[in-house]
Amino acid sequence: MLDTGGRPAIRGTVLVTGASSGIGRATTMHLDRLGFRVLAGVRKQEDADSLSAEGSERVVPVFIDITDSASIEEAARRVEEIAPLGLDGLVNNAGIAVTGPLEFIDLDRVRRQFEVNVFGHLAVTQAMLPLLRKRTGRIVTMASMAAWFGTPFYGPYAASKHAIRAFSDALRLELAPWGLYVSIIEPGSIDTPIWEKGYDLAKDTIESLPEQGREMYAEEIRAGLGSIERQGRRGIPAEKVAEAVASALMSERPRARYVVGKDAQAAIFAKRFLPDRLVDALLRRQMKLPKRNSKRNES
């Protein structure tokens, strides 16, 4: 963490889940450059090798599947072997984006969304808390501006981010008596592979819809995908999010939430202070969706 003069003390040990790409990888490398020992959570050997090659000797890959309890238990044992004095930070970052119209989406895919983006983070947090308590460590969890919006065709993703925000708010109050800090990061559009995966997944979703679903939603899904793709091209670098994570880990009094990106700041402001009807209209326009009642006689 930081000393009172704002200079980095010799830094502690931080576990980052989902470290193989995107925000997780950027965070791993940023913390490494700041002098932290980073336990980089990965699932594949090639990702471990890639991180080791890019980072310094302080980057130590740890294999973990946050949806597998046995994998989490083994990772906790490995973390304790590496850092027997405890963890200074946990960055819950691993995530996926499930897309599709809620009327037809396969519920197993929705469950998978929550297993990764919500239950997995909670399971890892529970497993690492004994080590975090030893060092009065920090917990930083990746939320999203999507937590504020039920964006059409991204309902499962938005719901998962809303849930993890609520979990983090409760956890922050529960752990406060022991001096542990809990923060969330709420980025806007970020140049990250998660949206490439979400784009491909949504295309697959269109193909998997029943005929009625394709007739009803395919055009709108394509329009929405185009909007998300454009946002991704304008997204800020993942390194900007990594800087916010570092601030949450190192500040003497970290914030409860860090909003990253001008689009996130503007969107959250709009959601808080504008009427829902106006926000809905703005979303429809942005995603090029049809107006209310425009298909009333087609169902």
pLDDT band at 231 (very low <50, low <70, confident <90, very high): low
Predicted local distance difference test score (pLDDT) of residue 227? 66
CB atoms near residue 136 (< 10 Å): 14
Mean pLDDT, rounded, of the chain = 89
Residue 141 lies in a domain: yes
Residue 2 lies in a domain: no
Measured between alpha carbons, how far is 236 from 260 in angstroms, rounded to an integer?
A: 9
Higher-confidence residue of 267 and 42: namely: 42
CB contact burial 182-195 (16+ within 10 A = b; e otherwise): bbbbbbbbbbbebb
Residue 107 lies in a domain: yes
Nearest of 15, 17, 2, 27 to residue 87 by alpha carbon: 15
Q: What pLDDT digit, counting tens, does each position of 147-192 carry?
A: 998 888 889 999 999 999 999 999 999 999 999 999 999 999 887 6
In three-state secondary structure terms, 138 is strand
Residue 292 lies in a domain: no
Cα dist from 177 to 91, 126, 149, 173, 202, whole Å: 21, 17, 32, 8, 44
pLDDT band at 212 (very low <50, low <70, confident <90, very high): confident
Residue 294 lies in a domain: no
Q: What pLDDT digit, counting tens, does each position of 87-128 carry?
A: 999 999 999 888 889 999 889 999 999 999 999 999 999 999
Q: What pLDDT digit, counting tens, does each position of 238-251 carry?
A: 999 999 999 999 99
The pLDDT of residue 2 is above 80? no
**Contact partners, residue 249, CB within 8 Å, separation at least 6:** 1, 14, 31, 36, 88, 89, 91, 138, 140
Measured between alpha carbons, how far is 153 from 141 in angstroms, rounded to an integer?
A: 24
157 catalytic per annotation: yes
Residue 236 lies in a domain: yes
For residue 172, give the CATH number of its domain.
3.40.50.720
Residue 158 lies in a domain: yes
Amino acid identity at 117: N
pTM above 0.75, yes or no: yes
In three-state secondary structure terms, 141 is strand
Predicted local distance difference test score (pLDDT) of residue 4? 35
Residue 3 lies in a domain: no
| Number of domains forming the structure of the chain | 1
Choose the catalytic residue: 157, 181, 217, 258: 157
pLDDT band at 143 (very low <50, low <70, confident <90, very high): very high
Q: Which domain holds residue 79?
A: 13-286
**What share of the chain has pLDDT > 90, as a percent?**
66
